[in-house]
């Protein structure tokens, strides 16, 4: 069985009897040891002592009075944020429970980066044993923002951070320039479009996030994304659903929709309300999906058996940031689900 995404921190966690990721001291210590909290030459004695204490006991309770002893206000703020997140993880007991609690109640004070980190390691757990590189690349959309380019009818996604990093260092080749800002100085190095024929190259580069995914209608990348979203709902909520791409929504009894990202949510609302969208607005829609519950009893009784439509769209800057928590909190579930 292949290992992948070592950068997720999966190896620091343990599965509980339900297959969820139990929070460990090693995982907490990895967060508390992040560069934001690491002592520097100017750190005061109180800051050094606090850091050492937390490395010895990552669950140590730290009150406001102790934080007030830190001389550096930035250090105080960083500790407040990190300890607040640490407390959410400890209270949840598992990474999945923490993520779901924050999704349902609002991640106030929790940096979006930490939600992405949790989605990363949860997806690693969910996909353990997966031997399909295209499915793994599709799952990167759960926790990494993408640059979008439309080329000869294809919809291509490349990791935004990777594109920006290579653009800044001149590390992009001719094809890869499509994903960078026009006029960016570049030198030769390519981002490969992942396909069934070359998929094995992913294994040596899984933590580099430097392959391109084709999510055009009918392509393996889009089909793989549907499977990932099905897995996501099964893992968190025990839901059995089928998700499939659709070219358009033709449903006089359209009753429910969920945007996989902020832009798609707005566009779906506009379509649902009968607004006419111009060509540029329609061009932002990357894909539409139909979600069907295999067990209608898991849905709200008043709309049981009806499909739920999903959307995925790029913003004006041609980027895509999927918010997988939307699926967890916005579906029309029966009260017991």
Domain that includes residue 111, residue range = 6-126
How much is the pLDDT for 208? 95
In a domain, 337, yes or no: no
In a domain, 248, yes or no: yes
Give me the number of domains the chain comprises. 3
Q: Mean per-residue pLDDT for 27-31?
A: 95
Q: Do 186 and 263 have their domain in common?
A: no
Let me know: does 89 contact 30? Beta carbons within 8 Å.
Answer: no
Let me know: does 94 contact 20? Beta carbons within 8 Å.
Answer: yes
Q: Do 119 and 190 have their domain in common?
A: no
282-309 pLDDT per residue, tens: 999 999 999 999 999 999 999 999 999 9
pLDDT(47) > 70? yes
62-79 pLDDT per residue, tens: 999 999 999 999 999 999
In a domain, 1, yes or no: no
Let me know: does 86 contact 32? Beta carbons within 8 Å.
Answer: yes
* Residue found under tokens 């030459």: 41
80-124 pLDDT per residue, tens: 999 999 999 999 999 999 999 999 998 778 999 999 999 999 999
How much is the pLDDT for 218? 94
How much is the pLDDT for 182? 38
Q: Do 62 and 110 have their domain in common?
A: yes
Tabulate helix, strand, coil % of the chain (nearest 5): 45, 15, 40
C-alpha triplet 144, 146, 148: angle, nearest 5°: 170
Q: Do 188 and 298 have their domain in common?
A: no
Q: Do 259 and 278 have their domain in common?
A: yes
Q: Mean per-residue pLDDT for 10-23?
A: 98
Write down which residue in 181, 214, 247 finishes a domain: 214
Beta strands in the chain (DSSP E): 14-15, 21-22, 146-151, 154-159, 192-193, 211-214, 241-246, 257-259, 285-293, 308-313, 319-320
Q: What is the pTM of this model?
A: 0.93
Q: Do 10 and 121 have their domain in common?
A: yes
In a domain, 180, yes or no: yes
Q: Count other Cβ atoms within 10 Å, centred on residue 99.
A: 26
C-alpha triplet 245, 250, 255: angle, nearest 5°: 90
């Amino acid at each position: 069985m292949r290992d992948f995404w070592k950068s997720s921190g999966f190896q620091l966690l343990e599965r509980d009897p339900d297959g969820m990721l139990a929070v460990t001291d090693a995982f907490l210590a990895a967060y508390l040891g992040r560069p934001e909290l690491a002592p520097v030459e100017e750190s005061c004695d109180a800051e050094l002592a606090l850091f050492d204490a937390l490395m010895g006991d990552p669950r140590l309770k730290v009150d406001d009075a102790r934080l007030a002893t830190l001389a550096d206000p930035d250090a105080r703020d960083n500790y407040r944020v990190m300890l607040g997140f640490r407390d959410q993880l400890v209270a949840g007991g598992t990474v999945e429970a923490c993520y779901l609690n924050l999704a349902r109640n609002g991640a106030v004070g929790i940096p979006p980066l930490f939600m992405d980190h949790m989605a990363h390691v949860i997806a690693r757990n969910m996909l353990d044993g997966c031997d399909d590189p295209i499915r793994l690349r599709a799952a990167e959309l759960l926790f990494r923002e993408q640059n979008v380019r439309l080329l000869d009818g294809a919809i291509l996604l490349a990791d935004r951070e990777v594109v920006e990093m290579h653009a800044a260092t001149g590390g992009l080749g001719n094809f890869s320039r499509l994903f960078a800002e026009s006029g960016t100085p570049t030198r030769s190095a390519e981002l490969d479009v992942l396909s069934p024929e070359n998929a094995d190259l992913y294994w040596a580069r899984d933590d580099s996030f430097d392959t391109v995914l084709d999510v055009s209608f009918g392509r393996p990348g889009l089909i793989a994304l549907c499977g990932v979203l099905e897995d996501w709902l099964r893992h968190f909520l025990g839901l059995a659903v089928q998700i499939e791409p659709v070219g358009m929504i033709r449903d006089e009894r359209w009753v429910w929709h969920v945007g996989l990202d902020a832009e798609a949510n707005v566009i779906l609302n506009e379509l649902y309300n009968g607004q006419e969208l111009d060509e540029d607005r329609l061009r932002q829609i990357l894909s539409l999906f139909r979600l069907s519950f295999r067990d209608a009893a898991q849905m709200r009784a008043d709309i049981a058996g009806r499909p739920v439509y999903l959307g995925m769209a790029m913003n004006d800057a041609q980027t895509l940031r999927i918010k997988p928590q939307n699926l967890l909190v916005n579906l029309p579930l029966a009260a017991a689900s």
